[in-house]
Structure 1
């Protein structure tokens, strides 16, 4: 009889230990699951924030100044193909919603126009083949135009981080350039005093 009671006692102890172990394992699994969910949520929030910052950065890079001021010494074109006040169609894609947009000429000037590559002074990725910067928007610009490959310092403020940035001339040509107002084909407000588009990038509005 004593042996039977001892056996029952030992069995009870073993059962209690097994149940306690299972309970601990369940708690650990629940904690691990909770930690995993918290980690996934935090990573999701971080990815969302990074994507938002990247999109804002891209969008900010396209925010052109709407100032109608022009550089000192820039000469108005005597016989531009598109006179001031003329309605035109824009055939360039410098900005989203620009190609195919209807615009109005607000200024026409004869100068040397450049495509340039530069790293913004505000940081960020290099801007390649930016169109356009004119001769009068280069620091200490002389009478002679620059050539592709020349290094210059920009004084233009078309975009954030452009002024005082060091740039490389990609292309250079003598041309009439235009400042225009236009309504983006993608919707939104009228873009005022966009600088610059060339004669080849405009056509008569239908």
Structure 2
């Protein structure tokens, strides 16, 4: 009789132990699933906050003013539309606060102006379609103009990380480029000897 009681008690404990273990395992699975779902939601939120999209070029680190020194070999324009001392309206801005500003002409030069794309030497993000680099600001410059897709080395410091960078020519145009003074329309800052504005980017109203 005692043996039967002990056997029955042992079976009962065994069943109870199996039941408790099963419940614990189920809880672990549930918690894992909940945590996984939570992580997925967090990752999704982060992706929504930081979508993979191409940003527009930022000229906030552009050297708006300069000393007024021009590259060696750059020739003054013979008969520019805008003479030194004239004023004109900037019709296309390369940076915030530039478009619509009144520009005072400080210099007029005949050259080839290039739109270029390059990766800054300081490791910043690639800059695309930068306006403008002139022929005399390219280290390999010779008599002949560069063509679209040519690889060149920049010898200009309009933006941080620009000087010495390898660039690709996107387009080129033979034109008169102007060095100008203007007042930034966003913040009122005086910009002196800005390089460069092309003939087509100026007008007289």
- TM-score under structure 1 normalisation? 0.66
SS of equivalent residue, structure 2 residue 88? strand
> What aligned pairs does 1:142-153 form with structure 2 within 5 A after superposition?
142=142, 144-149=143-148, 151-153=151-153
1:102-148 residue CA offsets vs partner (Å, 9 max, x unmatched) = 13225222221322434324256654543222232222645x35143
Does the CA-based 8 Å contact 1:111-1:134 persist in structure 2? Answer: no
User: What is the distance in 2 between the residues matched to 1:25 and 1:189?
Assistant: 67
User: What is the distance in 2 between the residues matched to 1:168 and 1:35?
Assistant: 46
Unaligned runs of 5+ in 2: none
* 2:20 corresponding residue in structure 1: 19
Structure 1's 135 and 16: CA in aligned 2 closer, same or farther, altered over 3 A?
A: closer
* 1:161 corresponding residue in structure 2: 161
User: What is the distance in 2 between the residues matched to 1:81 and 1:133?
Assistant: 21
Across the two proteins, how many residue pairs are aligned to each other?
Answer: 196
Q: CA deviation at 1:43?
A: 7.8
* 1:63 corresponding residue in structure 2: 61
* 1:113 corresponding residue in structure 2: 112
User: What is the distance in 1 between the residues matched to 2:203 and 2:105?
Assistant: 15
What is the root-mean-square deviation in Å for CA atoms of aligned residues?
A: 4.1
* 2:173 corresponding residue in structure 1: 172
Structure that is richer in helix per residue:
1
Does the CA-based 8 Å contact 2:175-2:199 persist in structure 1? Answer: no
Unaligned runs of 5+ in 1: none
1:80-120 residue CA offsets vs partner (Å, 9 max, x unmatched) = 4334555533222433454x431322522222132243432
Moved more, 28-37 or 106-115: 28-37
User: What is the distance in 1 between the residues matched to 2:32 and 2:168?
Assistant: 57
Q: CA deviation at 1:45?
A: 6.0
> What aligned pairs does 1:1-206 form with structure 2 within 5 A after superposition?
10-11=11-12, 13-34=14-35, 37=38, 41=42, 59=58, 62-65=60-63, 66-69=65-68, 70-77=70-77, 80-84=80-84, 86-98=86-98, 100-122=99-121, 123=123, 127-139=127-139, 141-142=141-142, 144-149=143-148, 151-169=151-169, 170-184=171-185, 187-188=186-187, 190=189, 192=191, 193-204=193-204
Structure 1's 129 and 31: CA in aligned 2 closer, same or farther, altered over 3 A?
A: closer
Q: CA deviation at 1:173?
A: 0.4
- TM-score under structure 2 normalisation? 0.66
